[in-house]
Structure 1
Amino acid sequence: MTESNGTGPVDRPSPRGPIEDMPDWEKRFRAPRVSLPDWAEDAPERSLFVSNATGTYELYAWDRATGGQRQVTDRPNGTTDGVLSPDGEWIWWFDDKDGDEFGVWRRQPFAGGPDEPAVPGLDPSYPAGLVLGRDGRTAVVGRSTDEDGTTLHLAHVGADAEPVEIYRHRESAGVGDLSHDGTLIAVEHTEHGDAMHSALRVLRPDGTTVAELDDTKGGTVELGLEALGFAPVTGDTRLLVGHQRRGRWEPLVWDVVTGEESDLALELPGDVSAEWYPDGSGLLVVHSFEARSELFRYDPATRALTRIDTPPGTVSGATARPDGSVEYLWSSAAEPPAVRSTNGGVVLDPPGMKCPASVPVHDVWVEGPGGRVHALVQKPAGATGPLPTVFDIHGGPTWHDSDAFAAGPAAWVDHGYAVVRVNYRGSTGYGREWTDALKHRVGLIELEDIAAVREWAITSGLADPERLILTGGSWGGYLTLLGLGVQPDAWALGIAAVPVADYVTAYHDEMEALKALDRTLLGGTPEEVPERFEASSPLTYVDQVKAPVYISAGVNDPRCPIRQIDNYVKRLASRAAPHEVYCYDAGHGSLVIEERIKQVHKELTFATNNLSPHN
């Protein structure tokens, strides 16, 4: 069923019915998907994965030995945060309220049974990491609250003893890993005050310090570290660490007892991450470069790097199995995701409707004020410009768009739009300087890069300058509202999902970890640097907005809270500016497929009703 409009038909979402009656864009959301299965270290035939098979993203247990699968969680707003214990006996999952990310860990037996509080004695909080010991009883639980900052607790599950606090600090931190024998705990922390660059501390179970690794000390440029995992061998004190010492993410091996550091120094141009093979004999390396990724095996003994064959596109997750094979979740902009194995074939193929393909992406490099900007472009097959064009801006900001399958952009393409995605300064994958470049002039720097790509899109003949849409979710929604005010003549309309709209109010209402990030980005609190918050806030420029504005928001969102969006909308309404607001009962986005389809349909319809037809 379609409805007529000035720029072409928009497919209406239909209730579940015959597949042949569904438009392809809707099928892409409804088609069952699965995450990369996590498996139990000491029971590798037991796995845990996430799927939308019921129409809501939930956790599923999978017994590979029998082939049996069962749904673990069933909540109205979905569940995606789960951990399988190393012995394969328990599934831990995070229980929040309607997507507000504030809750407690619960657990249930792998084979099924009632849920129970995983760590009685710990009050609800925002999660700050979780790692489970191989003994099936030990857990290190990270918590974040507005009152306490970050605390880490050591718990012995099933024992009468209360959880013991082993770490506390006002700044953000998180659990890194627990050693194979449970005697060492790696902590990522930002006690130095820069939430974008963590340091590492290794603790004993009693909370005393074993070792420190901090690349933020003594220099004018702060560098980050991340804990990638202890060696999976009892008594082995080596920790795999990600570092930025050469301007990009790379791994090194740090013996936390002797202090010895072994830098892999891999000759790969992009960001590199790694994890141990299950027997500790090698490293599975993931290399991300210019919006695509590939896999390698690294042998520490010979320093040999061997490429693992994967198709061109994006590997969004990979894990080495005990038999030496590698399972990985792969997709491209044109081809839907699949969990594959180096043993051949698809590992986990959900039954039901198959996801329709989309069109491939092509790369564009544009000279911007801070260097070359990488953009990814899709357009309808065979279409020639100038086209109505959507600038779909990614969130984060420390994230990047890649040659990976995305149902949202594909929906725009299906309806005749070109889609441009910009990896602006602040994005990951292009080196540390690119990621760190947006400090203090937050938002304004990203918009400069988006403007440069916009100019290319027009002069190249791709985009119709009168039919340009700025859209995005989260940080992308923030940049959308900021762009409509700072660049009011550049955009025909804006569509912002779960955005920052009033930066000062957002700061005061958001979760503590994001306050720390904002202090890092802007150099202080709204009271300490009011001029920076004002310059970076969409509310500052709301009176300059000319284009129609659509905003969607989750009423339980702890990241981009609803009150600051209300403030922005009231200002729009006071000017009688054309706008539409849609609020829904969830947090920072929805895990319910029907809700997501409803949102996309509203966005498509808003564009159709407010975008001038081509003359």
Structure 2
Amino acid sequence: MTEITDSKPEQPGAPEQPATPDLSAMPDWEKRFRAPRVSLPDWAEDAPDRSLFVSNATGTYELYAWDRATGEQRQATDRPNGTTDGVLPPDGASIWWFSDTDGDEFGIWMRQPFGGGDDEPAAPGLEPSYPAGLAIGRDGTSVVGRSTDEDGTTIHVVRTDAEPVEIYRHRESAGVGDLSHDGTLIAVEHTEHGDAMHSALRVVRLDGEPVADLDDTKGGTQELGLEVLGFAPVDGDTRLLIGHQRRGRWEPMIWDVASGTETDLAIDLPGDVNAEWYPDGSGLLVAHSFEARGELFRYDLAKRELVRIETPTGSVSGATARPDGAVEYLWSSAAQPPRVRSTAGGVVLDPPGMKAPGSVAVEDAWVAGPGGRIHALVQKPAGASGPLPTVFEIHGGPTWHDSDAFAAGPAAWIDHGYAVVRVNYRGSTGYGREWTDALKHRVGLIELEDIAAVREWAVTSGLADPAKLVLAGGSWGGYLTLLGLGTQPEAWALGLAAVPVADYVTAYHDEMEALKAMDRTLLGGTPEEVPERFEASSPLTYVDAVRAPVYISAGVNDPRCPIRQVENYVDRLAARGAVHEVYRYDAGHGSLVVEERIKQVRLEITFATAHLGEGPSLG
């Protein structure tokens, strides 16, 4: 068990760094992990000088309070395995942070004064759970979403000096979306219809009384999802900004929950469109994602006009509009490390210490596949020509996508002479609803068909050495790695799987409740109801066909890809004498400790070198 330590006392200036090793002896790939990073700062709506951000400045990702008026920064949390989930209430008087045990994601919300002080339970009377959304009102009332294996999802209203009141309960997954500006309405995302990939919306009063429902699900294979983007930032305003998929992609719409009026914004941009309110409610900050790049716009609600906000080519992984109209955004590209920038000019938050070295730019590859064109992102060492040893770095999710953004892991392989290929397979976001939803019922196998098509392109194009192809990934990417090694045993020379699903049936029974709901949606039922689908999609089914050496890393406290199902797979490998190594570490679904991340990458590179030899010389 890891004890939660007291918060550090207030420290003027930027957060301190741990002692820095000799930079002259440190390889670039390690510098990229160790260089201090910061997240996009969140800020309190009614006290915008008070901000909260995440940084790895001490060697572990923790929450930091930042008083913009004085410039003072203070490390707010300090735990052995790190902390990243934090929220500022509108008044900025306190910091809420989620306290779990060693990364198991099961715990309670804690609270401490913004200027420093003792931590205390933020919602006394609520038992530990998995988090399912949080909203905090201006009068101190909070709306806390909880998920447990026993109860499914529950939502509680917690008032100061009063016992929590349960206002919602359902076996299927749900979550708190937002609380209206005046604190009278709660927006809830729910999947009571049983499809965890496509939420419906319900707005209720603080006593749980329903006000309005919006549900785009149609049954069959044509379900359409909705998501809460936020209530209008004006007292008494009942407009709710939501995301919908009615035209086959994510885009915003305004729903007045009192009148039922739906205002279609009809923003004519390809790809997915997200949005949030400007603080005065006059416009929307629009985030546009298309073909692995991101850009920003302002949408003027009165003029119904879209105006581009100039940002460099690459990826915007977060953005927020400040009260003065300036937009702050976190930007990076595959070649350039992330920075928090502002349209007012310059870098908003620049941590002290060494800077991360850059990497090489990403190139786009479009490959014909069985379900349509597949987008792959390709990087290779500067000046190198193929065929090269190549790592297929497969993203997690599956509802996620790789983008032209800075990533220290792929850059490490490039430094060692490998090409890196990342595939936005069917199931990935960013390419339309049909592409995202395509993997149902043949889970894992559909994604691997797309990966196989890109693999064939990589070999025939002369990029990849067919004798030195590495299949790698974490989480869902780790799952696809193990499944690919068993279903495509002749295609891969090596496998590197981090926190994977390895035995799908056992994983289902041991994982957190929200992921059970997702698996029922993906596979069409439970292991008892559709055993043939779970068997067809489980890496354990094909473990005896694996021929390539396998390296597996797993967190012993992981609630998403639990350790028991990994051990079942490893036992089967060991029983037949298959070449494999396993690394277990004391954390959950990944680690927030920088040195632990570096250790895991080093172990993977060492394993690959031992079985494939050194990469080509880059000198």
Q: Could you state the TM-score of these two structures normalised by the residue count of structure 1?
A: 0.96
Q: 3-state DSSP class of the match of 2:237?
A: coil
Question: Is 1:139 paired with 2:142?
Answer: yes
For 1:437, the equivalent position in structure 2 comes to 438
For 1:155, the equivalent position in structure 2 comes to 158
For 2:522, the equivalent position in structure 1 comes to 521
For 1:178, the equivalent position in structure 2 comes to 179
- Whichever residue aligns with residue 580 of structure 1, its letter is E
Q: 3-state DSSP class of the match of 1:451?
A: helix
Structure 1 pair 301–569 and aligned structure 2 pair: CA distance change class (3 A): same
- Whichever residue aligns with residue 606 of structure 1, its letter is F
For 1:119, the equivalent position in structure 2 comes to 123
Find the aligned partners of 2:267 and 2:284 in 1 and give their Cα distance: 12
Determine which of 58, 75, 89 is the counterpart of 1:71. Answer: 75
- Whichever residue aligns with residue 156 of structure 1, its letter is R
Instruction: Using the TM superposition, give the Cα deviation of residue 611 of structure 1 relative to its aligned residue in structure 2, in angstroms.
Output: 1.1
| Cα deviations by residue, 1:59-117 (Å, 9 ceiling, x for unpaired) | 00000000000000000000000001100101000000000000000000000000000
**8 Å contact 1:467–1:612 — kept in the other structure?**
no
**8 Å contact 2:543–2:573 — kept in the other structure?**
yes
Find the aligned partners of 1:110 and 1:524 in 2 and give their Cα distance: 46
For 2:458, the equivalent position in structure 1 comes to 457
Question: Is 1:387 paired with 2:388?
Answer: yes
**8 Å contact 1:488–1:545 — kept in the other structure?**
yes
Q: Describe how 1:187-202 pairs up with structure 2 within 5 A.
A: 187-202=188-203
Q: 3-state DSSP class of the match of 2:589?
A: coil
Instruction: Using the TM superposition, give the Cα deviation of residue 614 of structure 1 relative to its aligned residue in structure 2, in angstroms.
Output: 8.2
Q: 3-state DSSP class of the match of 2:482?
A: helix
Q: 3-state DSSP class of the match of 1:565?
A: helix
Find the aligned partners of 2:23 and 2:257 in 1 and give their Cα distance: 56
Q: Describe how 1:286-305 pairs up with structure 2 within 5 A.
A: 286-305=287-306
Determine which of 82, 98, 117 is the counterpart of 2:86. Answer: 82
For 2:449, the equivalent position in structure 1 comes to 448
Instruction: Using the TM superposition, give the Cα deviation of residue 574 of structure 1 relative to its aligned residue in structure 2, in angstroms.
Output: 0.5
Find the aligned partners of 2:220 and 2:604 in 1 and give their Cα distance: 47
Q: Describe how 1:161-310 pairs up with structure 2 within 5 A.
A: 161-217=162-218, 221-310=222-311
For 1:473, the equivalent position in structure 2 comes to 474
Question: Is 1:540 paired with 2:541?
Answer: yes
Instruction: Using the TM superposition, give the Cα deviation of residue 613 of structure 1 relative to its aligned residue in structure 2, in angstroms.
Output: 6.4
Q: 3-state DSSP class of the match of 2:144?
A: strand
Find the aligned partners of 1:610 and 1:554 in 2 and give their Cα distance: 24
Find the aligned partners of 1:395 and 1:164 in 2 and give their Cα distance: 36
Instruction: Using the TM superposition, give the Cα deviation of residue 276 of structure 1 relative to its aligned residue in structure 2, in angstroms.
Output: 0.1
- Whichever residue aligns with residue 580 of structure 2, its letter is H
Find the aligned partners of 2:357 and 2:82 in 1 and give their Cα distance: 24
Find the aligned partners of 1:134 and 1:404 in 2 and give their Cα distance: 36
Find the aligned partners of 2:26 and 2:382 in 1 and give their Cα distance: 20
Find the aligned partners of 1:251 and 1:515 in 2 and give their Cα distance: 29
For 1:108, the equivalent position in structure 2 comes to 112
Find the aligned partners of 2:495 and 2:421 in 1 and give their Cα distance: 14
- Whichever residue aligns with residue 234 of structure 2, its letter is V
For 1:9, the equivalent position in structure 2 comes to none
| Cα deviations by residue, 1:409-465 (Å, 9 ceiling, x for unpaired) | 000000000000000000000000000000000000000000000000000000000
Determine which of 16, 24, 29 is the counterpart of 2:28. Answer: 24
- Whichever residue aligns with residue 154 of structure 1, its letter is V
Structure 1 pair 574–262 and aligned structure 2 pair: CA distance change class (3 A): same
Q: Describe how 1:572-583 pairs up with structure 2 within 5 A.
A: 572-583=573-584
Instruction: Using the TM superposition, give the Cα deviation of residue 490 of structure 1 relative to its aligned residue in structure 2, in angstroms.
Output: 0.2
- Whichever residue aligns with residue 104 of structure 1, its letter is I
Find the aligned partners of 2:245 and 2:401 in 1 and give their Cα distance: 18
Instruction: Using the TM superposition, give the Cα deviation of residue 219 of structure 1 relative to its aligned residue in structure 2, in angstroms.
Output: 6.9
Q: 3-state DSSP class of the match of 1:242?
A: strand
| Cα RMSD, aligned residues only | 1.0
Instruction: Using the TM superposition, give the Cα deviation of residue 350 of structure 1 relative to its aligned residue in structure 2, in angstroms.
Output: 0.2
Find the aligned partners of 1:109 and 1:261 in 2 and give their Cα distance: 40
Question: Is 1:51 paired with 2:52?
Answer: no
Aligned residues: 598
- Whichever residue aligns with residue 534 of structure 1, its letter is E
Q: 3-state DSSP class of the match of 1:395?
A: coil
Find the aligned partners of 2:24 and 2:571 in 1 and give their Cα distance: 43
Structure 1 pair 287–198 and aligned structure 2 pair: CA distance change class (3 A): same
Question: Is 1:34 paired with 2:41?
Answer: no
For 1:332, the equivalent position in structure 2 comes to 333
Find the aligned partners of 2:163 and 2:68 in 1 and give their Cα distance: 36
Q: 3-state DSSP class of the match of 2:266?
A: coil
- Whichever residue aligns with residue 44 of structure 1, its letter is P
Instruction: Using the TM superposition, give the Cα deviation of residue 612 of structure 1 relative to its aligned residue in structure 2, in angstroms.
Output: 5.0
State the identity %.
83
- Whichever residue aligns with residue 470 of structure 1, its letter is L
| Cα deviations by residue, 1:297-329 (Å, 9 ceiling, x for unpaired) | 001111100000000000000000000000000
Find the aligned partners of 1:323 and 1:118 in 2 and give their Cα distance: 31
**8 Å contact 2:416–2:615 — kept in the other structure?**
no
- Whichever residue aligns with residue 99 of structure 1, its letter is G
**8 Å contact 2:374–2:424 — kept in the other structure?**
yes
**8 Å contact 2:418–2:615 — kept in the other structure?**
no
Determine which of 90, 94, 98 is the counterpart of 2:98. Answer: 94
Find the aligned partners of 1:72 and 1:128 in 2 and give their Cα distance: 23
Find the aligned partners of 1:255 and 1:400 in 2 and give their Cα distance: 32
For 1:4, the equivalent position in structure 2 comes to none
| Cα deviations by residue, 1:238-297 (Å, 9 ceiling, x for unpaired) | 000100000000000000000000011111001000000000000000000000000000
| Cα deviations by residue, 1:24-50 (Å, 9 ceiling, x for unpaired) | 000000000000000000000000000
For 2:568, the equivalent position in structure 1 comes to 567
- Whichever residue aligns with residue 98 of structure 2, its letter is F
- Whichever residue aligns with residue 457 of structure 1, its letter is A
Q: Gapped runs of 5+ residues in structure 1?
A: 1-14
**8 Å contact 1:510–1:560 — kept in the other structure?**
yes
Find the aligned partners of 2:221 and 2:391 in 1 and give their Cα distance: 39
Find the aligned partners of 2:467 and 2:136 in 1 and give their Cα distance: 55
Structure 1 pair 416–220 and aligned structure 2 pair: CA distance change class (3 A): closer
**8 Å contact 1:38–1:49 — kept in the other structure?**
yes
Q: Gapped runs of 5+ residues in structure 2?
A: 1-18
**8 Å contact 2:392–2:421 — kept in the other structure?**
yes
Find the aligned partners of 1:303 and 1:611 in 2 and give their Cα distance: 57
Find the aligned partners of 2:58 and 2:24 in 1 and give their Cα distance: 20
Question: Is 1:552 paired with 2:556?
Answer: no
**8 Å contact 1:253–1:262 — kept in the other structure?**
yes
Structure 1 pair 88–366 and aligned structure 2 pair: CA distance change class (3 A): same
Find the aligned partners of 2:64 and 2:318 in 1 and give their Cα distance: 18
- Whichever residue aligns with residue 125 of structure 1, its letter is S
Q: 3-state DSSP class of the match of 2:558?
A: coil
Find the aligned partners of 1:117 and 1:569 in 2 and give their Cα distance: 40
For 1:598, the equivalent position in structure 2 comes to 599
| Cα deviations by residue, 1:333-361 (Å, 9 ceiling, x for unpaired) | 00000000000000000000111000000
Instruction: Using the TM superposition, give the Cα deviation of residue 19 of structure 1 relative to its aligned residue in structure 2, in angstroms.
Output: 1.3
Structure 1 pair 295–613 and aligned structure 2 pair: CA distance change class (3 A): closer
Find the aligned partners of 1:494 and 1:220 in 2 and give their Cα distance: 34
Q: 3-state DSSP class of the match of 2:597?
A: helix
**8 Å contact 2:417–2:615 — kept in the other structure?**
no
For 1:7, the equivalent position in structure 2 comes to none
For 1:584, the equivalent position in structure 2 comes to 585
- Whichever residue aligns with residue 118 of structure 2, its letter is P
